[in-house]
Structure 1
C-alpha cells in the first residue's frame, strides 16, 4: 500500500514546519502548504536533514482564499490519489482591545484563524470520509481561556473549538475523527509575527496603557519559558498516529493545567481572577 497522505497548513516556520517534518519521519507523505512557497527552503532543509525530503510535497495554499484551498486539495488528489489526514495549523496572532481597533481588524483575525480553518476543512472532508481519515486542528489554550488584550484572537480560537467540538460526532458518524490540539506558549516566530511595537502600543493605549504594559511584561516572562516548536509538534504527530485519538489534546503539562482551570470553573471566577492578576 502507498504511504498515507497528510496535508498540513502553515508550514514555513514554527510548529507547522516541525509537524511536517515529524509526520514525514513517521512515514506519512506530507503535503506541506504555505501562503508563500518562496519561504520553503528552511522546511526543505529540515526535511533533508531528517532524511525524509522524498516524502515532502510543498504546495501553495492561502487559507483565506477559498479558490486557493480548493485548487490545492484537488491537486493533491490528482497527484496522490488519496487524503488520509489534515492538520489545520495556519494562523496568526493578534494583540489589541476593541476600543482601540476597528471591527475590520477583528474581522481580519477571524478570517485567518476561523474561516481559514473552515475553508480547508470543507474542501478536505469528502476525501477524509473516503479514507476513514482524521482531522486535526491546532487551536490554542486561548481557545479555552479568554485572555486580556487577546479578544479577537481568543474569539476566533473559541469559535474553532466550538465548531470542531460540534462537528466531531457528525464527522465520526461518517468515519472521520476530529481532534483539537491546544498549545500554550511556544517559542516560535508566531509571537514576532504579531508585529506589535510595544512602546508605541502602550503609548497609544490611553486608559488601558498601564494594564497593557503589565500584560506584555507577563507575556514576555511566559514566552521566556515557552515550549519548543519541536515538542509541541511531537504532540500533534503523536495524535496523528494514535489509533484512537482524543477529541482534545494539550501539548504540555502547563497547557493541561491552564486549560483545566477553565474546564473546572463553573462560575468563571477562577479564570477571571487569574487573568485579572496579569494586569497588575
Structure 2
C-alpha cells in the first residue's frame, strides 16, 4: 500500500525536491504551500490523483483544522516533512517586535500547528516526523539571532517530542542543512545594520553575499538525505547535511564543552566549594 506524506513548504526548495522524490516512490503527497501557481504545477506533473494540494498560510487561525481534515480525508498519514519557514537576518537590537513576532509565528508556532494536526494520524501509523532546522539551529552567527532562535526552538521542541513519542513508535529526526543553493538565500529578509553593528553584522552579511556559487551545496543532497532517513528503522535524532554543517556544528559543540570545562569550578555550589 502506498504511503501518504504531508510536506509543508512543498512549492520550492527542499520541500519541492522531497515532494518530487516522494511522488516518484508512488506515495500520495499532501503538498502544502501558499503559491497557487506552483501547487498547480505539482498537480500537472504528478500522476493523476497522487497529489492533494492545500493552499494555506500556516499561521492562519484555521490552519490546524484544515490540515487535520485533509489528513482524515486522505485516510491517514505516514510521513510528515515539517519544512515551511523563512529567514530573517539583522542585528538583535534592530529587528523590530513585529519582525521578531512574525518569524516566531511562522518558524515555530506554525510548526507546532502542523504537529498538532498530524500527530494523531502519525501515531496510528507509527510514522515519521522530519523537522527541517538549520546548522544555525545549534549556534548563532552575527545577524542570525532571531532566525537561529526560531530554529533552536524547533530543535528543542523536536528533541522533547522524540522522547515523548518513544512508546508510540513514531520516530523524529531534525534535519540540519548547511548552506545550499535554494531560493532561501534570495528570499530571506535582511535588516541592514547601522554604524554600531557594521563591524559585526555588516561584515558577516557582506562576506555572505560575496560567497561564490560553488560555496552553495546542491540541494538535492538534502532531499536525498531526507528520503534516506525516512526509511531507516532507527533514524538519528539530528542529521547535519553538508560539510559546512558538520564542521560548524562540531566546532560549536567543542567550544561549548571547552567553556563548560573552563568555568566548571564557578558552577559548583557554595556547599561543595566549602567542602
TM-score using structure 2 length: 0.86
Take 2:31 and 2:211, find their aligned partners in 1: how far apart are those partners?
A: 29
- Which residue pairs with 1:111 in the alignment? 105
- Which residue pairs with 2:268 in the alignment? none
Take 1:215 and 1:266, find their aligned partners in 2: how far apart are those partners?
A: 22
Mapped pair 1:5 → 2:28: no
SS of 1:181's equivalent in the other structure is strand
Take 2:61 and 2:117, find their aligned partners in 1: how far apart are those partners?
A: 9
Runs of 4+ in 1 over 3 A off after TM superposition: 41-45
Take 2:232 and 2:49, find their aligned partners in 1: how far apart are those partners?
A: 24
Take 1:223 and 1:93, find their aligned partners in 2: how far apart are those partners?
A: 20
Are the structure 2 counterparts of residues 53 and 210 from structure 1 closer, same or farther at C-alpha, using a change threshold of 3 Å? Answer: farther
Take 2:169 and 2:179, find their aligned partners in 1: how far apart are those partners?
A: 33
Question: Matches of residues 51-200 of structure 1 in structure 2 within 5 Å?
Answer: 54-78=49-73, 80-196=74-190
SS of 1:266's equivalent in the other structure is helix
Q: Is the 8 A contact 1:183 1:250 kept in 2?
A: yes
- Which residue pairs with 1:255 in the alignment? 245
Compute the RMSD of aligned alpha carbons.
Answer: 2.2
- For 2:221, which of 224, 227, 231 is the aligned residue? 231
Larger Rg computed on CA atoms: 2
Consecutive unaligned residues in structure 1, runs of 5 or more: 270-280
User: Between Structure 1 and Structure 2, how many residues are aligned?
Assistant: 259
Deviation readout 1:224-263 (Å, 9 max, x if unpaired): 3111222211111111122221111122232122212222
SS of 1:98's equivalent in the other structure is coil
Deviation readout 1:187-230 (Å, 9 max, x if unpaired): 11112112448xxx25xx12112333321132124573111222
Are the structure 2 counterparts of residues 253 and 54 from structure 1 closer, same or farther at C-alpha, using a change threshold of 3 Å? Answer: farther
SS of 2:255's equivalent in the other structure is coil
User: How far does residue 170 in structure 1 lie from its aligned partner after superposition?
Assistant: 0.8
- Which residue pairs with 1:276 in the alignment? none
Q: Is the 8 A contact 2:11 2:39 kept in 1?
A: yes
Deviation readout 1:38-84 (Å, 9 max, x if unpaired): 33245446x44xxx565322222322124123212312321x21111
